[in-house]
């Protein structure tokens, strides 16, 4: 399974107002392991960033002017995401910019270039309803260090999101599980083994432990001024044993 964690930085908030993409980063993950194969591009937007956006990403017009324009790198982005699930945090924001840029240079919509798009923000909201689910908040929640994130950057944010995604989506992978493809159900990568209770060692209570248990139950009876719940279960078990 190939997945791409993607992030962008932009000159502002709305492509309908002429704002452009200035940075794209894609981090590749195969079978839930980072491959180290990434795509990272700075892009010349042919315009200034809004002051608010510049304060977030710190990418100046002068710096970006020496980099290629989007139409020069569009096919490179399409080729990299081809055949993959693309994971984006707050996907609606990035997609409206990506689609505006692709349309401008005559390419198909971004969604048609990949297998699937997953919004990690929506996934986080399902897991943690009513809580903050920004990338910073999720890093804190899952114990992922983002101390080096003084400015937003597409590559750094993609790498952090990859760690967050793995933490959010990890399942139970240790309890009574065997990862042997040859023996797994349906040819998958892992299965639950049939549990054999005979392997458990039974250690019965000794007379002293039984006496201490009885004394503890009597103390509970006295405190509650009626038989405790454990006594009720014992009575039911004894009645069932008779019948």
Q: What is the pLDDT of residues 163-180, one digit of tens each?
A: 999 999 986 443 444 444
37 backbone dihedrals φ, ψ, rounded to 5°: -95, 110
The beta strands (E) that lie in the chain are given as 2-10, 21-30, 33-42, 85-88, 116-119, 177-178, 191-192
Half-sphere exposure of 142 (CA within 13 A, CB side): 23
* pLDDT tens figures, 140-151: 999 998 887 767
CA 64, CA 20: separation in Å to the nearest integer? 12
More confident residue, 181 or 11: 11
Whether 107 is a known active-site residue: answer no
Cα 21 from chain centre: 25
* Residue with tokens 């995401």, as numbered in its chain: 81
**Which one of the listed residues 107, 128, 152, 243 is annotated catalytic?**
152
More confident residue, 221 or 52: 52
* pLDDT tens figures, 34-47: 999 999 999 999 99
Q: What superfamily would CATH give domain 2-171?
A: Ribonuclease H-like superfamily/Ribonuclease H (3.30.420.10)
**Which tokens belong to 218?**
């009597």
Would you list the domain boundaries of the chain? 2-171, 206-242
CA 28, CA 162: separation in Å to the nearest integer? 9
Cα dihedral 188/79/151/169 (nearest 10): -10
Q: Which among 45, 49, 50 has a CA at the least distance from the CA of 66?
A: 45
The model's confidence at residue 195, banded by pLDDT at 50, 70 and 90, is low
Q: How far is CA 63 from CA 34, 95, 108, 214, in A?
A: 30, 25, 29, 79
């Amino acid at each position: 399974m190939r997945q791409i964690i993607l992030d962008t930085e932009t000159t502002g908030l709305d492509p309908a107002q002429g704002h452009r993409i200035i940075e794209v980063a894609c981090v590749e993950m195969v079978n839930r392991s980072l491959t180290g194969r990434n795509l990272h591009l700075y892009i010349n937007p042919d315009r200034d960033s809004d002051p608010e956006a510049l304060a977030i990403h710190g990418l100046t017009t002068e710096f970006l002017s020496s980099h290629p324009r989007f139409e020069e790198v569009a096919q490179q982005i399409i080729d990299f995401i081809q055949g993959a699930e693309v994971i984006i945090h707050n996907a609606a924001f990035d997609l409206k910019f990506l689609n505006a840029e692709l349309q401008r240079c005559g390419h198909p919509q971004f969604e048609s270039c990949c297998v699937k798009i997953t919004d990690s923000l929506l996934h986080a909201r399902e897991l943690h309803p009513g809580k903050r689910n920004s990338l910073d908040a999720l890093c804190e929640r899952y114990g992922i260090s983002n101390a080096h994130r003084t400015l937003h950057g597409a590559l750094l944010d993609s790498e952090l999101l990859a760690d967050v995604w793995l933490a959010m989506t990890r399942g139970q992978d240790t309890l009574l599980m065997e990862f042997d493809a040859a023996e797994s159900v349906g040819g998958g990568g892992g299965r639950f083994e049939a549990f054999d209770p005979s392997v458990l060692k039974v250690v019965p209570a000794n007379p002293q432990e039984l006496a201490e248990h009885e004394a503890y139950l009597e103390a509970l009876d006295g405190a509650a001024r009626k038989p405790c719940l454990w006594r009720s279960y014992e009575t039911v078990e004894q009645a069932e044993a008779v019948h």
